[in-house]
Chain A
Amino acid sequence: AAGVIQSPRHLIKEKRETATLKCYPIPRHDTVYWYQQGPGQDPQFLISFYEKMQSDKGSIPDRFSAQQFSDYHSELNMSSLELGDSALYFCASSSTIQGADIQYFGAGTRLSVL
């Protein structure tokens, strides 16, 4: 079965650079979530989209933005990167139509800011 696809798997950037993370949800899933997991921490919710519209927002810095496109893939854009942005970034998708509120997680993108 198709899973949530994230790219790239690993990304190394310098301070003050920009980064773009991509997420391809499971086909026919209508909701996408982004989470950030710092070293030794639990994943923290950043932002979510339902049917291409932002549905909820968590502790997402103003330097970050995200959107969901017409094909339902989502991108997380991160500018003016800081050392503290080094983390594992997860994307998850779910389907409200299927009734069960199960979130399926991608393998994550490991961002290292040097």
Chain B
Amino acid sequence: GIQVEQSPPDLILQEGANSTLRCNFSDSVNNLQWFHQNPWGQLINLFYIPSGTKQNGRLSATTVATERYSLLYISSSQTTDSGVYFCAVNTNAGKSTFGDGTTLTVKP
């Protein structure tokens, strides 16, 4: 099946710093979603981005489908941004395959 790799696995930032999270995938995909899992375990959908660039406030994402990667940018990070960020892709099969996640810790 499709392989999804996220990097870095862990990231520690000072409040106000910027960061870039990366997601590589091994095959063509129909869909790519970025999620933030908060400390209570909820998966919050950040972006649906099979290709192109999107922005939502301090967050933006870019997917280059032809090169099979996606980037999530977090600017002016806040302590509430802490948590695990997952990239999930699906192919024609429909089910989502998740990467291992990036654990982000933002220190005040």
- Give per-residue flags for B80-92: 1 if the beta carbon is below 8 A from chain A beta carbons, else 0: 0000001010100
Closest A-chain residue to B98, C-beta based? A42
Which residues from chain A sit less than 8 Å from chain B, CB to CB?
31, 33, 35, 37, 42-45, 48, 50, 55-56, 58, 88, 90, 92, 94, 100-105, 107-108, 110
**What's the dominant secondary structure at chain A's contact region?**
strand
> Bound complex: CA of A101 vs CA of B48, how far in Å?
9
User: Are A42 and B86 in touch, CB under 8 angstroms?
Assistant: yes
User: Are B93 and A56 in touch, CB under 8 angstroms?
Assistant: yes
- Give per-residue flags for B32-62: 1 if the beta carbon is below 8 A from chain A beta carbons, else 0: 0101000001110100100000000000000
Residue numbers in B under 8 Å from A92 (CB-CB): 96
Which residues from chain B sit less than 8 Å from chain A, CB to CB?
30-31, 33, 35, 41-43, 45, 48, 86, 88, 90, 93-101
> Bound complex: CA of A87 vs CA of B41, how far in Å?
11
Known A102-B45, A107-B42; further 9 A-B contacts with Cβ < 8 A = A42-B99, A42-B100, A43-B86, A43-B88, A55-B94, A103-B88, A105-B35, A108-B42, A108-B43
> Bound complex: CA of A9 vs CA of B35, how far in Å?
20
Q: Choose one: A58, A90, A102; the contact of B95 (CB below 8 Å).
A: A58
Closest B-chain residue to A58, C-beta based? B95
User: Are A103 and B86 in touch, CB under 8 angstroms?
Assistant: no
Residue numbers in B under 8 Å from A107 (CB-CB): 41-42
User: Are A103 and B96 in touch, CB under 8 angstroms?
Assistant: yes
User: Are A102 and B43 in touch, CB under 8 angstroms?
Assistant: no
User: Are B93 and A104 in touch, CB under 8 angstroms?
Assistant: no
> Bound complex: CA of A45 vs CA of B96, how far in Å?
7
> Bound complex: CA of A101 vs CA of B30, how far in Å?
7
Residue numbers in B under 8 Å from A101 (CB-CB): 30-31, 90, 94
